[in-house]
Amino acid sequence: MKTTIKFLFVTIALGLASCSSDFLEKDPYGELTQEQILQEENLEALIIGAYSILNGQIDNASNAFNSPASNWSFGDVVSDDAYKGGGGTGDQNNIHQMEIFTTNPAIIDIERKWKALYEGVRRSNSVIKLLNETGDITATVKEQRLAEMKFLRGHFYFELKKIYNRIPFLDENAISLSDFEVSNTELSEEDLWGKIEVDFNAAYNSLPAAQEQTGRPSKYAALAYLLKVYVYQKKWGQALAVSEEVIQNGGYALMDNFEEVFLPENDNGSEIIFSIQQTINDGAPNNYNGAIGDRLLPPGGPRYPGYGFLRPTQNLVNAFKTDVNGLPTLDNSELTVSDNVDARIDFTLGRPGIPYKDLGILYEANWARDLASYGPYGPKKRVLSANSSFYLPVWPYVNALNYYIIRYADVLLWRAEALIETGDLEGARIIINKVRLRIQNGSKIMTLDGSEMAANYSVGVYPVFTNYDQAIVALQTERRLEFAHEGHRFFDLVRWGIAEDIMNSYIASEKNIRSYLNGVNFVGGKHEYFPIPQSQVDLGGKDENGTLLITQNPGY
């Protein structure tokens, strides 16, 4: 009997221990290991992953509109070009707070945008680190891919710099999570710009003049971006030199018709220097590879969902008014139907009575959502025709039009600006006129029956710039009209140092029709930059003295 019990215990004990030692080892399905990723084709896919973050879609949530690559909220709504729009001031109230300059560091957009850009930094850094470590890839490919990743990293830091100003800098050696605890005031403004310049210079040196795959930046894209970096620093001499080379050797050209620039068929065309590639119906769930950050922009009406965000201001509409010579009137008086107007207006925004795209119908005031709060106008420039096969007529109503980070008109007008700043008013005039001539000569919006122009379009060229002030105002106006609703306006105002003046005078007049602007005040020295996200301040770590590493921007 006793032996039986012993035997039993032994067998049971064996049975209990029968689970083999790997029973508690479970490996994830569908994941590559740290070793596998170093193979060339896998590294190439990792590089694709870095490009993927350009559009601001950082996770599987549907709110990329909090971190839009197009900066419609960060660059347009907070400027004199656009109202937030939507179903009232409470709809996306966070963006409303930004619009009325009660921005606070806890606003979700502030955090999501920061996250999206630093995700880009992290992904590019990760590739750079792995490329530097591996020998599994041919040297030329490696050099080129390294350059591409530095281009991307330069882009993300540029965006961070222009939005948040005082930013922590991480390079590819930041690996462990504790490496991410970095001060945002350690580097001087000059040093930070220097880091960005280094990346674009490196990209310029190693990238080919043209890329086989158009989604990758070329040598001249890097140079054009370097130009942008110089312009933002007012390094006019370098800007002149660099812009010369881009114009001479880049092989870029303005398209004949302004309208065509914003068609997906041309979104890697001669005018496009670097853009974010967007696709629809590509097999991805929810079509997040489309222009997902702009998904609240469809203007309403019979063919679009009425999200109704990004609404042109009366001030912007008025800015298109031209005089008898076809030049901007600059007085911002109310545009009436009989006035002369720059033809770009009806490619840029929806106006009642003007045909909308190729839909065969007129835009009407009742397309616009919450007229009482946001007026009758709707966005148009980066909205595609509802008939286009590149527009997705189902949720999330995105399109496949690339977002242009830099297009050739940018380079031209930056060069013109550099010429003005260095005293060559005539050189600048020629370039500005070049941009205007495209409009003068290009196609216009016609009435529905095609019999005549839909409005009194009149675009003239500047005969002469007699002084700096006239020239710089002409340049600034031209940038506004050419790039309206492309996410640049606010950052231009800031770098020109006129944000406070322009915004406060805009608010003073606009509040008469948009009552929610009553009492709104742009505070100079504060509102030029957005606050550092509160979570970054809180979780960003402390130094050895227990002081927070992150310093909030002034005024917040």
Partner 1 sequence: MKKFPILRNFNLFMFVNKLKTSLITLFLISTVIQIEAYADINKKSKTNFEEHNIFAHKKHFKEIVFDKNVSIQSIVTGKVTDSNGVPLFGASILEKGTNSGVTTDFDGNFKINTKDGNAILVVSYLGFQQREISLAGQTNLSIILEEDSANLDEIIVTGYTSERKSDLTGAVSIIQVDEATDQPLASVNELVQGRSAGVEVLRSNAPGGNAAIRIRGFSTVRNNDPLYVIDGVPTTTGINLINPNDIESLQVLKDASSASIYGSRAANGVVVITTKKGKQGKIKVAYDFYSGMMTAMQLPKLASASQYGNGLWKAFENDGITPSNDVYGSGNMPIIPPFLDADKTIPSTNINWLEALFNPASITSHNLSFSKGTDTSNSFFSLGYFKQDGILKYTGFDRYTFRANTSFNVGSKIKVGENLALTFSNTTDSNTNTLLGSPIYDAYRMPSIAPLRNTSGEFTGYPLNDIQNPVGNLFRNKDNEDKTLRVFGNIFAEVDLLKGLKFKTNFGLTMSNFSSTNFNPTYVEPNVQRELANLTKVEQNLMEWAFTNTLNYTTTIKDKHTVNFLVGAESIESELETLSAFRQGFPGNDLNFQILAAGDAGTQQNNNGKIESSLVSYFGKANYSFDDRYLASYTIRRDGTSKLANNKWGTFSAASFGWKISNEEFFTSDIISMMKLRLGWGQNGNQDIPPYVTSSGFLSDPFNSNYAIDGGQNVVFNGYILSRNSNSDLKWETTEQFNIGLDLGLISNRLNFTLDYFNKETNDLLLERNLAPISGGTNSAVWDNVGTMKNHGLEFGADYRNDANKEFQISANLNVSVIRNELTSLNEGIDFVGIDASSLRNNNFDQEVSRTAVGQPIASFYGWVADGIFQNQSEIDAHATQSTGTSPGDIRFKDINNDNVVDDKDRQFIGNPHPDFTTNLNLNFEYKNFDMTLFFRSSFGNEIYDLTRYYSDFYNLSSYNKHSRIADAWSTENTGSSVPRLSLNDPNNNIRPSSYYVKDGSFVRLQSLQMGYSFDQKILETLSLSRLRVYTNLQNVFTITNYEGIDPEIGLQNYASDNRNLDIGVDRAIYPPSRTFTLGLNIAF
Q: How far is the CB of 335 from partner 1 (least distance, A)?
A: 21
Q: Is 340 helix (H, G, I), strand (E, B) or coil?
A: strand
Q: How far is the CB of 542 from partner 1 (least distance, A)?
A: 8
Pick from 68, 85, 105, 396 the residue near partner 1 by CB under 8 A: 105
Q: How far is the CB of 184 from partner 1 (least distance, A)?
A: 9
Under the binding rule (CB under 8 A), the answer on residue 23 touching partner 1 is yes
Give the Cα-Cα-Cα angle 241, 245, 248 (nearest 5 degrees): 135
Under the binding rule (CB under 8 A), the answer on residue 534 touching partner 1 is yes
Under the binding rule (CB under 8 A), the answer on residue 46 touching partner 1 is yes
Q: How far is the CB of 444 from partner 1 (least distance, A)?
A: 27
Q: How far is it, in rounded angstroms, from Cα 405 to Cα 217?
A: 11
409 alpha carbon, distance to own chain's centre: 16
Question: Do 148 and 217 contact (CB within 8 A), yes or no?
Answer: yes
Under the binding rule (CB under 8 A), the answer on residue 551 touching partner 1 is no
CA dihedral 163, 168, 170, 175 (to 10 degrees): -120
Segment 159 to 198, residues that bind partner 1, using CB under 8 A: 168, 170, 177, 180-182
Q: How far is it, in rounded angstroms, from Cα 347 to Cα 305?
A: 20
Assigned token pair, 98: 């930004």
- Residue span 264-303 as binding mask against partner 1, x where in contact by CB under 8 A, dash where not: x--xx--------xxxxxxxxxx-xx----------x---
Under the binding rule (CB under 8 A), the answer on residue 360 touching partner 1 is no
Q: Return the beta strands (E) in 47-167 as ranges.
A: 82-85
Under the binding rule (CB under 8 A), the answer on residue 371 touching partner 1 is yes
Under the binding rule (CB under 8 A), the answer on residue 438 touching partner 1 is no
Q: Which stretch binds partner 1 (CB under 8 A): 88-96, 190-198, 328-336, 485-493?
A: 88-96
Under the binding rule (CB under 8 A), the answer on residue 123 touching partner 1 is yes
CA distances 414 to 151, 432, 480, Å, are 20, 10, 13
Under the binding rule (CB under 8 A), the answer on residue 91 touching partner 1 is yes
Question: Do 352 and 376 contact (CB within 8 A), yes or no?
Answer: yes
Pick from 194, 353, 393, 554 the residue near partner 1 by CB under 8 A: 393
Under the binding rule (CB under 8 A), the answer on residue 248 touching partner 1 is no
Q: How far is it, in rounded angstroms, from Cα 50 to Cα 156?
A: 11
Under the binding rule (CB under 8 A), the answer on residue 536 touching partner 1 is yes
Q: How far is the CB of 379 from partner 1 (least distance, A)?
A: 16
Q: How many chain residues are in contact with partner 1, going by CB under 8 A?
A: 133
Rg of the chain on CA atoms, in Å: 26
CA distances 234 to 53, 237, 421, Å, are 29, 9, 9
Under the binding rule (CB under 8 A), the answer on residue 525 touching partner 1 is no
Q: Which stretch binds partner 1 (CB under 8 A): 23-31, 199-207, 232-240, 338-346?
A: 23-31
Residue 404: which of 157, 55, 158, 149 has the closest Cα? 55
